Amino acid sequence: MVFRSILPALAVAVLAIAGQAAAQTRLSPPNGLGSVLLPTGIERHPLGGDTDETLSFIVRRPGQTGLDWAGLCMVSISRPAKPPTVESWTTVAAIYYANAEQKARERVSGKGGTFDRMLTNKPWTSKTGWAGWFTAYQATTKDGVSESSVFGGTQLAIDIRVVLNCTSSQGQSFTPADLAVIEKLSQSVSN
């Protein structure tokens, strides 16, 4: 009798634990240099797109299903051709952070688009303490389509670089909630 009364509660607890485990998937690129913990709102890209050093993800808002998503993100974890010193990387990160709008304008104009506005710009410190940047901006493509982009970079070690690139789905913009989920993705990268 007692067993029957606790069975529903036990089932709910098991489902809750399973749901938490599903939301806490850790993935590594084939090169094995690091890993990413997927926060709620970030899913594996259903059409693939991974390479030896890059993992592809989608940003999915509540209610979105199938091929409907807010944007695409790629996290690259690789070995730089010339590993930086801590001092030289700190300088690079400071330049990208301090000149985020200029760098965003250069990225957009290089593709023939028009820069609209900055959405956020903040430091991104890796779990191992390396400096970095996390920048998001709104632009209009050369075809007249509005889109949001996120660009960030940091290091996990002297010889392991992390680069984050995200773009909103065509005609959509990243919301503050989307940017918070993408930032959680960036903060989850570890070695």
Q: What's the pLDDT tens digit per position in 17-42?
A: 444 444 579 999 999 999 999 999 99
Q: Where are the beta strands (DSSP E) in the chain?
A: 26-27, 36-37, 42-44, 54-59, 71-78, 114-123, 133-140, 146-157, 160-168
Name the pTM for this structure. Answer: 0.84
Question: Which pLDDT value is given to residue 115?
Answer: 97
Q: What is the mean pLDDT of residues 73-96?
A: 96
How high is the pLDDT of residue 45?
Answer: 93
The model's confidence at residue 168, banded by pLDDT at 50, 70 and 90, is very high
